[in-house]
Amino acid sequence: MKHLPSLKNLFYLVNLHHEQNFNRAAKICHVSQSTLSSGIQNLEEQLGHQLIERDHKSFIFTAIGEEVVQRSRKLLTDVDDLVELVKHQGEPMTGDIRLGCIPTIAPFLLSRVVKHCQKSYPDLTLFLKEDTTERLLDALGKGELDLLLLALPVDTSGYHSMKVGIDPFKLVVHEELADELHEPLDFNSFPDESIFLLQAEHCITGHAITACQLGDSAKVNPFAATSLHTLVQMVNSKLGTTFLPQMAIDAGILNDTELSVMQPPGDAPYRDIGLVWRQTSSRILTFRTLGLAIQNLLEGREE
């Protein structure tokens, strides 16, 4: 058999690429800077190609070095999956899951998911990360996360996905302004710049615009909030209206406010909630079992 490069040296290379700094990468790998540097040099000798161009102050990855990093990420992820499979002998609902979730779901659902898992699956541990859809998908692809809880639709090409429920959108207005709106609601009758939404990086903005058939951009205020809680405060100050997902309302985001909930125009607009994981993962049964548990939580059948 050929003398293959060590996984340890590939691990050094991937972390150096991520940190772009030898000292920080060495700390993450729990080795000295010289050990990390020697490991990468050894990797270059084994592969017979220069992966990094160095001078006394800086370095850059060569084109082949970039390719090796990308392939090494996938290789290390597959090894992690293999270790988990053998460690738990293929038993579902055991071990660790690094779960990523978007900010418009995490505060309103994850605590219930964690409590359910602690009660029903004591051998399963969830490690949580909250971020935007784009960054979570990037982390999943790099093997930094195992599973994502997202609002669909998003581009999940190259991944497996499982729909676990729907989350209706509601129109939220101040109770003093609610009487001025006549049902059925028509967005054309709304004042310009009277609808507040989240920043574009939050997928709920696009989902809400599409689901609620909000075609007139003049109705949207140019101010973009960073969180649903900020939107609630804006509407509670009688500055306009907004859309909120039902799960946030059910979780009490409108408590201690003077806001009313109304059905927005459109055919019962909603967003899908789903799980996403890598096609190469060996833990499909665990992910699907967790998906069914989340589905029950969303439908109020289990706490």
More confident: 148 or 74: 148
- The rounded Cα 66 to chain-centroid distance in angstroms is 25
Q: What are phi and psi of 201, to 5 degrees?
A: -65, -15
148-167 pLDDT tens trace: 999 988 888 889 999 999 99
- 3-class DSSP state of 98: strand
Q: What's the confidence (pLDDT) of residue 195?
A: 92
Highest mean pLDDT among 84-98, 170-184, 208-222, 266-280: 266-280
Q: What's the confidence (pLDDT) of residue 303?
A: 52
Q: What's the confidence (pLDDT) of residue 119?
A: 95
| Separation CA 280–CA 277 (nearest Å) | 9
| Separation CA 95–CA 132 (nearest Å) | 25
Kindly state the DSSP code that residue 119 receives in the 8-state scheme: H
Does the pLDDT value for residue 107 go beyond 90?
yes
Q: What's the confidence (pLDDT) of residue 252?
A: 95
pLDDT band at 185 (very low <50, low <70, confident <90, very high): confident
More confident: 282 or 128: 128
- 3-class DSSP state of 50: coil
| Separation CA 34–CA 280 (nearest Å) | 34
Q: What's the confidence (pLDDT) of residue 139?
A: 93
More confident: 46 or 149: 149
Sort 269 into a burial class: Cβ within 10 Å, 0-12 / 13-18 / 19+: buried
All structural domains of the chain, each given as residue ranges with its CATH number in brackets, are 7-86 (1.10.10.10), 95-302 (3.40.190.290)
| Separation CA 296–CA 302 (nearest Å) | 6
Q: What are phi and psi of 53, to 5 degrees?
A: -95, 120
* Bridge partner residues of 161 (DSSP): 276
Kindly state the DSSP code that residue 188 receives in the 8-state scheme: G
User: Residues near 47 by Cβ (< 8 Å), separated by ≥ 6?
Assistant: 5, 68
**Tokens encoding 153:** 């639709």
**Tokens encoding 13:** 């290379």
Does the pLDDT value for residue 112 go beyond 70?
yes
- For the segment 70-81, the average pLDDT, to the nearest whole number, is 87
236-269 pLDDT tens trace: 999 999 999 999 999 999 999 999 999 887 778 8
Please, what is the average pLDDT of the chain? 89
Q: What's the confidence (pLDDT) of residue 173?
A: 93
| Separation CA 139–CA 277 (nearest Å) | 11
∠ Cα 206 207 211 (to 5°): 120
Select from 171, 151, 176 the least CA-distant residue to 244. Answer: 171
- For the segment 31-42, the average pLDDT, to the nearest whole number, is 93
Does the pLDDT value for residue 141 go beyond 60?
yes
What element of type H or E holds 40?
Answer: helix 33-47
pLDDT band at 202 (very low <50, low <70, confident <90, very high): confident
Q: What's the confidence (pLDDT) of residue 88?
A: 65
Does the pLDDT value for residue 142 go beyond 90?
no
Q: What are phi and psi of 145, to 5 degrees?
A: -130, 155
Query: Under a CB-based contact definition with an 8 Å cutoff, are residues 297 and 303 in contact?
Result: yes
Query: Under a CB-based contact definition with an 8 Å cutoff, are residues 293 and 116 in contact?
Result: yes
Does the pLDDT value for residue 66 go beyond 70?
yes
pLDDT band at 99 (very low <50, low <70, confident <90, very high): very high
Q: What's the confidence (pLDDT) of residue 292?
A: 95
Does the pLDDT value for residue 1 go beyond 90?
no
